[in-house]
């Protein structure tokens, strides 16, 4: 959410940003919110004047009563009562205007960083750098579920009977490999100085609207019927929510956290749960990284975060590339975002396995996450998040890139301690 003062003073910048995100239908909201804000401030000013007058008249009433001037005192009391009625009406009006302003401000997108390429959707995202040589072996790479079935490691039919499409059973070595990837990612981030956390897997609505836009909320979140609770779509939601309504001393920043959680997503929209497999599903597990920091350090942390993912995935012998998300592909709260994509030798192309985002002070402003300087002044923190690993997607990349011609799967050295010392998965 933008600072209303910034919008008031820079309406043209806000409108240009909306155009760059190809959301022209939101352009009228800028003028609308400026007018509502002006009315709210006008009501507030009049109310403040009435409060000051009431205070002054109250003193005068006391003086008149002390002088025995009852009639004059009663006249002043009548004036106070009249002002009280007006003040009550103004207070109601002020709250109404402020609520309308906040509702619109929650919809106006955050100002994107000047380095973000302008484009309409993910087709306009820009490749930045490749890490590792993408290889296509001289033998056929089966579909990922077929590889898993060779190890009796997946049962989609049973999962469909139990929960419907978009779910799975992992078993045996595949289930163990899934857990090994999560455990390795956890320790990898701990070794890089991050504090390990396991957060709540449900959050209240005020946290949901604090961490994401209404459009994202509708497309992603599952609501618990009859309760003010939602299942999280990623641990970022509850991890950022951890700081709601807090003031952190500047000397205690940055907060660097890595969190594990299951994730639940509707996957509502154009992509949907269509093909047989585990690329796009309703339930998965994830290791995430979260940073809460000073504004001047957020871009430095942004680069560190996506590099962590690249380093981890490369340690698993998986080639990756980074992709700069264009303006139209950025969610409304994001300032800048980079996707990390893994090489698929079967498809002979890269596919997304994680996303790194800098949200500026948008989440902090919504959730009132503030920082106190040594001089006592306060400001809103910047928040960032990034995927460490998100099985099953990283599992797909792992199996395809480590599959051998004989059908076995090589286990990279870094993962062997988590797989009981195994060098290979054997059929």
Where in the chain is CATH 3.30.930.10? 122-425
Query: CATH homologous superfamily of domain 122-425?
Result: Bira Bifunctional Protein; Domain 2 (3.30.930.10)
**For each of the chain's 427 residues, which pLDDT tens digit applies?**
899 999 999 999 999 999 999 999 999 999 999 999 999 988 888 887 777 777 777 676 666 676 777 677 667 667 666 677 777 777 888 889 889 999 999 999 999 999 999 999 999 999 999 999 999 999 999 999 999 999 999 999 999 999 998 899 999 999 999 999 999 999 999 999 999 999 999 999 999 999 998 778 888 899 999 999 999 999 999 999 999 999 999 999 999 999 999 999 997 654 555 466 888 899 999 999 999 999 999 999 999 999 999 999 999 999 999 999 999 999 999 999 999 999 999 999 999 999 999 999 999 999 999 999 999 999 999 999 999 999 999 999 999 999 999 999 999 999 999 999 999 999 7
> How far is 241 from 210, CA to CA, in rounded Å?
8
Q: Please determine, looking at this structure, whether the domain spanning 4-105 carries the CATH number 1.10.287.40.
A: yes
Reduce the secondary structure of the chain to three states and give it as a string.
CCCHHHHHHCHHHHHHHHHHCCCHHHHHHHHHHHHHHHHHHHHHHHHHHHHHHHHHHHHHHHHHHHCCCHHHHHHHHHHHHHHHHHHHHHHHHHHHHHHHHHHHHCCCCCCCCCCCCCCCCHHHCEEEEEECCCCCCCCCCCCHHHHHHHCCCEEHHHHHHHHCCCCCEECHHHHHHHHHHHHHHHHHHHHCCCEEECCCCEECHHHHHHHCCHHHHHHHCEECCCCCCEECCCHHHHHHHCCCCEEEEHHHCCEEEEEEEEEECCCCCCCCCCCCCCCCCCEEEEEEEEEEECHHHHHHHHHHHHHHHHHHHHHCCCCEEEEECCHHHCCCCCCEEEEEEEEECCCCEEEEEEEEEECCCHHHHHHCEEEECCCCCEEECEEEEEEEECCCHHHHHHHHHHECCCCCEECCHHHHHHHCCCCEECC
pLDDT at 220: 87
Counting Cα atoms < 13 Å in the Cβ hemisphere of 408 gives 9
Where in the chain is CATH 1.10.287.40? 4-105
pLDDT at 270: 43
Counting Cα atoms < 13 Å in the Cβ hemisphere of 268 gives 11
Cβ–Cβ < 8 Å for 342, 394: yes
């Amino acid at each position: 959410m933008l600072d209303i003062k910034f919008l008031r003073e820079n309406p043209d910048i806000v409108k240009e940003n909306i155009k760059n995100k190809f959301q022209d239908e939101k352009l009228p909201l800028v003028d609308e919110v400026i007018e509502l804000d002006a009315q709210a401030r006008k009501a507030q000013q009049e109310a403040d004047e009435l409060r000051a007058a009431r205070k002054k008249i109250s003193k005068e009433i006391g003086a008149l009563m002390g002088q025995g001037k009852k009639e004059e005192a009663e006249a002043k009391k009548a004036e106070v009562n009249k002002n009280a009625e007006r003040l009550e009406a103004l207070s109601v009006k002020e709250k109404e205007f402020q609520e309308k302003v906040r509702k619109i401000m929650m919809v106006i997108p955050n100002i994107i960083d000047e380095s973000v390429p302008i484009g309409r959707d993910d087709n306009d995202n820009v490749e930045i750098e490749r890490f590792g040589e993408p290889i296509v072996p001289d033998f056929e790479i089966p579909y990922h579920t077929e590889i898993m079935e060779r190890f009796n490691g997946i049962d989609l039919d049973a999962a469909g009977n139990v929960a419907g499409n978009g779910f799975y059973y992992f078993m045996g070595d595949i289930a163990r490999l899934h857990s090994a990837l999560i455990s390795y990612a956890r320790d990898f981030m701990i070794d890089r100085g991050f504090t390990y956390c396991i957060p709540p897997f449900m959050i209240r609505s005020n946290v949901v609207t604090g961490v994401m836009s209404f459009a994202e909320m509708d497309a992603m979140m599952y609501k618990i019927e009859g309760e003010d609770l939602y299942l999280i779509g990623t641990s970022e939601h509850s991890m950022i929510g951890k700081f709601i309504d807090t003031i952190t001393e500047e000397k205690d920043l940055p907060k660097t956290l890595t969190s594990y959680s299951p994730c639940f997503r509707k996957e509502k929209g154009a992509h949907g749960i269509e093909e047989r497999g585990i690329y796009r599903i309703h339930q998965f597990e994830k290791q995430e990284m979260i940073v809460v920091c000073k504004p001047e350090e957020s871009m430095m942390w942004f680069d560190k975060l996506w590099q962590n993912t690249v380093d981890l995935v490369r340690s698993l012998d998986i080639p990756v590339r980074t992709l700069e998300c264009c303006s139209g592909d950025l969610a409304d709260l994001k300032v800048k975002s980079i996707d990390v994509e893994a090489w698929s030798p079967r498809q002979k192309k890269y596919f997304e396995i994680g996303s790194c985002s800098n949200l500026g002070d948008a989440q902090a402003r919504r959730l009132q996450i503030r920082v106190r300087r040594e001089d006592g002044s306060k400001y809103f923190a910047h928040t960032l998040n990034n995927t460490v690993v998100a099985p099953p997607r990283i599992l797909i990349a792992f199996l395809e890139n480590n599959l051998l011609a004989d059908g076995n799967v090589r286990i990279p050295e870094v993962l062997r301690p988590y797989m009981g010392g195994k060098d290979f998965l054997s059929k």
